[in-house]
Amino acid sequence: MVTATRTAQTADQSLASVTVITRDDIETTQALSVPELVRGTTGLDVTVQGGFGKLSSFFLRGTNPSQVLTLVDGLRWGSVSAGISAWEFLPLAEIERIEIVRGPRSSLYGSDAIGGVIQIFTRSGKGPPTARAEVSVGSEDTSNIAAGVSGGDDRNWYNLSASRFRTAGIDAREPVLEFGVPLDEPDLDGYDNTAFNARFGHRFENAGKLEFFATQAWGNTEFDSNFGNEDDFTQQVIGANYRLQPSKRWNMLLQGGRTRDRRTTFRADGSVADSRFNGEIQSYVWQNDLTLTSVQLLTLGADFRRDKVDSTVDFKQSSRDNTGGFAQYQASFNKNSLLLGARVDDNEQFGTETTGNLSWGYDLPKAMRVVASYGTAFRAPTFNDLFFPDFFGFPTSNPNLEPEKSKSAEVGLSGSFRGGRWDVRAYRTEIDDLIVLDQNFIPQNLDSATIEGVEAQLATTVFSWIARLQLSYVDPRDDATGNVLARRSKEWLRLDFERRYGKTNLLLSLLAQGPRFNDPANTDELPGYGVINVAVRHQITKQWAIGGRINNLLDKDYQTVDTFNELGRYALLTVSYQPVLKR
């Protein structure tokens, strides 16, 4: 993994609390969407508003969805106007792995990394040229078709792939009053997503390696609203990186690219005017990793980012720049591990922001390790917060907003034993200058929050079953009222049992979550729930495999956002074919 430190290391080496989900994990679960795949992961609470392709929010360690930094292949990704990421639109068929880093990382990445960082890596290629094709059919008239070709050696590597997902969906929302007006649209809310991924890399004889990559997903999703009730969307990532080793002790990375988040909201009958929000993030990184000794690594780097927005509404300002410089020192000595990082960001809107991170680990007897860390982070206000135009002469934004700021402390203890591993963490995060609406519905830096939590992970073998337990407890409180922050469960667990019978792999998963309040006043409580998911995959031959998944086996009726329906029981059948084209 690379996300926790921007340098290559294993998850066991990392001082941070991390989870890595590989391509093998994706195929084992037979999941069809990123929210479905990561739900119940340690420290990560997921809400979904109506099934596949509907708004999905990720609350990492109790922080807001806008306080989680999202990267795709190293490039910052998300909406520059709303400040959140469209997880529901990411094509899972094009993803190689997902790295989840819990805890502040602004000292490396700048804005947004208060709760942590989630990075998506799209598919690459290695080994002999290999084709792949996969067809899935399931409940709710759901289908997914994916195909690709990939390969590579020490000099060249490539991947070309495409996918098409569609579902008739479910009725996304119950009848409700929306802004005082009755809303009742008892129809199926469908979703379709077409995506492609391309990656090409070449290693030069004595001049480093160069790689180009591109991913795009576009389609349509329907939902229930008295205003627009359909979105046409496009998510795009285009970039390149160049890696060079000028000397034995110096590795350099140059990376640049662009991500786009485009969305047009409308009604098919034309009764409501179309609403368009197109965002773009251009980013460039220069990173230098200097090996001081065999156990000391110094990372120095700088990055530049330009955010741009284009919309049917006339934003008072449509672009802004941010320049950052960062340094990180990693060392190991005796039984100690140390990480020290600092970063300075210069934003043309709010000026300079300085953040830092300090982590320490100590190896104990019996394969145990204690860790402790402290870090600061911030989140810059969005274009909506700062520059949204006045409404009939009344202001709706505030160009004088300051960034939200946080400080976090964490302690942990981990260990390994024959056939297993465990990890326990406790943390506290204090967030100041939270941006909320005042009595005139104008955003202000008025609020603060304190989040305390405990996480535990255990992986072991029980009667030939691989068992993985993930436990999370988080207490996110508004400092002024003492209320629990809205839409966050305080406790949840995920328990996976996996076993292989010859060429057949079976996975049983239990996800249980406690209740949550839908509103800041804590007057509207949604009950907790538990669901059981089952997945199976059988390798018929070296080329052919068949698999299936049943989600919500007991057809539990539950909601994670008030009035928005979750999927009930649904089944999925998948057939895949992967021939080697040339040996």
pLDDT beyond 80 at 1 = no
What is the C-alpha separation between 502 and 490, in angstroms, rounded? Answer: 40
Reported confidence tier of residue 583, pLDDT bands at 50, 70, 90: low
pLDDT mean over 515-537: 96
Q: Using CB atoms within 10 A of its CB, is residue 510 exposed (0-12), middle (13-18) or buried (19+)? A: middle
Burial 392-402, CB ≥16 within 10 A → b, else e: eeeebbbeebb
70 contacts 80 by C-beta, under 8 angstroms: no
Q: What angle do CA 431, 346, 404 make, to 5 degrees?
A: 15
Residue-wise DSSP of 120-150? EEE----EEEEEEEEEEEETTTEEEEEEEEE
Reported confidence tier of residue 437, pLDDT bands at 50, 70, 90: confident
% pLDDT > 70, the chain: 100
Q: How many CA atoms lie within 13 A of 75 on its CB side?
A: 31
What is the C-alpha separation between 521 and 502, in angstroms, rounded? Answer: 54
In the chain, the amino acid numbered 130 is: T
pTM above 0.85, yes or no: yes
Q: What angle do CA 36, 40, 44 make, to 5 degrees?
A: 100
pLDDT beyond 90 at 582 = no
pLDDT, tens only, 187-233: 999 999 999 999 999 999 888 999 999 999 999 999 999 999 999 99
pLDDT reported for residue 391: 78
State the Rg of the chain over Cα: 23
Tokens of 439: 């009595």
pLDDT mean over 29-41: 95
pLDDT, tens only, 91-133: 999 999 999 999 999 999 999 999 999 999 999 999 999 999 9
The alpha carbon of residue 177 and the mean position of all alpha carbons in its chain are separated, in whole angstroms, by: 31
Residue-wise DSSP of 153-212? -SSEEEEEEEEEEEEEEE--B-SEEETTEEE---S-EEEEEEEEEEEEEEE-SSS-EEEE
169 contacts 52 by C-beta, under 8 angstroms: yes
